[in-house]
Structure 1
Amino acid sequence: MLERLALEGRIDRSYVGRIERGLENVTVSALEALAAVLGSNVRELFAEVDTNSSRPPPLRSGRKPKGS
């Protein structure tokens, strides 16, 4: 999932991994790219998780075709 998120967001995979582990100060442009891939807006990335809500659908697996 991490690799797919990075590919679709055009962000370095290792950078996304460091964000996930809390080792990076994420940029606004990276937040915007991640939110776009996830089909949400940046504000939703900071919302508290409702434990009663359903999980979002997973991203498609596999690599994005070259030239896309």
Structure 2
Amino acid sequence: MDEREACEHFAGEIPDPPDAERMKEVLEQIQLYCAGTDARLAALKSKYANNIKVMSKLNEYDEIIERARR
């Protein structure tokens, strides 16, 4: 969950107007924190499908973030 939150944070940091140096930094952080989180989230949802409290938190995250951030 920490990685997913960091991923979402950096995905929201895309500079506007574009700044090449900041964009490079943000994209590096997105790659670091987002890679593999879609699969890990799906696995957690499968594992905790019967736990309402855990599922409540997991359902706060978009199911697909990696492809959306490329």
Normalised TM-score (structure 2):
0.27
Normalised TM-score (structure 1):
0.27
Q: Structure 1 or 2: larger helix share?
A: 2
Which fold has the larger relative contact order, with Cα–Cα distance below 8 Å and residues 6 or more apart in sequence?
1
Larger radius of gyration: 2
